[in-house]
Each structure stands twice: as structure tokens, then as C-alpha cells.
Homo-oligomer: A and B are copies of this chain.
Amino acid sequence: MAVYTRIGAEEMAALIDSFDVGALVSAKGIAEGVSNSNWLVETQRGRFILTMYEERTDVADLPFFLGLLDHLAAAGCPVPATIHDRTGAAFQTLSCKGRDKAVALIEFLPGVSADRPTAAQAHAVGSALAGVHLSALAFAMRRTDAMGPAAWLRFATSCAGRWQEIDARLSAIPDHLARIAAQWPADLPSSVIHADLFPDNVLLLDGRVSGLIDFYFACNGPMAYDLAVTHAAWSFDSQGRAFDAALGDALLNGYETVRPLAASERAALPVLAQAASLRFALTRAYDWLNTPPDALVTRKNPVEFFNRLEFYARSGAAVFAP
């Protein structure tokens, strides 16, 4: 869900005029992004996405997120570049009903997100992800992973004693967490990672990746962990029960056509894939228990990622065998 905040037509026209992109022709609030408001904006000179950052995005992180987009776009990665305003700023602050909100204008990229990805699409996404990892090595800014191992314990502590409100099986999470944290490998090759590359964050057109979007979890981290997140996000049915080896293999092969994995990374994939599944099971469980029933968001079921966690714990060694 999105478009939490309304912008009047007159404010929108004035805002768009502060960028050097031609006069406003159309603006439609779009139902995209779970934590920000977004508009598809058309001007005399092109189309753009206007994003207003709501509570979940820390404005202090915007220079990192938007600078990363510019860095990657300049390097030829299929990501939307930030449109800077007439003063050169990458984002602005609007006053909406007495609250300041940051807004940024980024390129509109064509393409649609796959609901049922094919192996060819997974291969293309793997290659695009490797391209981002290599290009981002030269990006100078840094951001730690707010959803990394340090955060898991905080989420798990918050959910303690309440797992059965969602599903009794989830009470195994603390044991998994302890084991995975102990096995979390140090010193894997690191870059900036997307950390949330689900199919709805990938735009596809004519068989190629036309856009990687929603970099608002991007951070420094092990590149192989990002690949593991993507593997968990792309290779299962929505319930996280049926693993599709053809999708997973295509993703890995596509990645390695651009950036071959080191032996240490390949060896770490089983635990990294469990860690990735744990991360989403934990944040979804936290959101499930802390989202008011009348909130305008659809709660995502943490069990879908607990199922993946159990799958990787059981079969990860075979799935990622060299």
C-alpha cells in the first residue's frame, strides 16, 4: 500500500517546477512501496517517480540511498538515477500538515515485475545483481545493515513468548538464531548490497532486467548474503514450501557469469540462505505482532520464510554444492 500523504495539484506543480524537467502534465498516486508514498509523474519532458519518505525511512540515510542510485546509474546498472533539483539537491523537504517530509524525484523505468519468475528471468536477475555488487565497490559512502545479525536478537526478544500467536512452529526461531549467528562467516567479500531484491523490486522487459528498484534497505555487507537473500526470494512458491531448483540454479549461474563466487562464499551460502530466511521471518513476525488490525497494510506471513529457513537448514548443503 502506499500514498499515505496527499499532495494537492498546485503544490505538486510547484514542486515539479523546482526540478528542471518541464511542466507537470499528470501525477497519479501509485500503490507501490510498503513504506513510502509514490506518484508516477509526467512532465513535458518525461516520466518520473516522486517518492515521499514516510516513517520507516530515516532521512539521514537519504544521501546514501540516492547517492548510490546515481553511482550505479552512472556505472550503467539498470537503476533509476536521482533527478537533482535546480539547486543541485538530491532531495527536498516539504511541510505537510505541520510535519516535514523528504521527497525525491527519480527516473521512471519501464518494465513489469514477474509474479511467477522463469529460470531465464532468474538468470538475468543474477547477472544484474552481480553487476550492482561490482559497480558498488567504488561507492564511497557507507551504511550498516539495520536488518543484519545485530538486529535479529532485538526482533526475536521483542517477539519472545508470542510466537504461538502467529504459529507455534515459530518458537523454534531462537534456537535457529543462536546457531546461525554462531555460524555467520566473517571476512566474506563485501560491497554495497540491495538486501531486499524480491521479484517486485525487479522490472523486466523483453527478457532483460530493465530496472532494479527500492534500494531503501541497501547497506554494506557480504555480497554472497545478498545473493542468498535473492535466492530465498526468487526460488520458492509463495508459501515457501516448494523449492524450484531450476530457478535457484539459474540465479546462481547468472550471477557467476558476471562475478564468480570465491570458494569461501560458495561454502557460506547454506548458512547465508538460512540467515536471509531468518531475517524476513523475524521482521515479518515483528510486524505481524505490532501492526494494528486496522492499519492500511497487508501483513506478510512470517511462516513463509520460516519454511524457507527449515528448507535451507535441511537441504542447503545439497542446493549450494559446487
Residues on A facing B (Cβ under 8 Å):
2-3, 8-13, 24-32, 40, 42, 110-116, 203-205, 293-294, 296
Contacts and interface: CB of A to CB of B under 8 A. Distances in A.
Contacts of A12: 112
Copies in the complex: 2
Contact of A40 (B11, B40, B293): B40
Contact of A30 (B11, B31, B42, B116): B31
B111 A26 contact: yes
A11 B112 CA distance: 11
A114 B9 contact: yes
Contacts of A42: 110
B10 A116 contact: yes
A31 B9 contact: no
Contacts of A294: 293-294
A123 B13 CA distance: 21
A18 B40 CA distance: 25
A294 B8 CA distance: 26
Max count, chain B CB within 10 A of own CB: residue among A12, A27, A28, A42: A28
Given A10-B114, A294-B294, A296-B296, A28 B32 contact: yes
Contact of A31 (B3, B10, B25, B114): B3
Nearest to A24: B112
Given A28-B30, A28-B32, A31-B30, A9 B293 contact: no
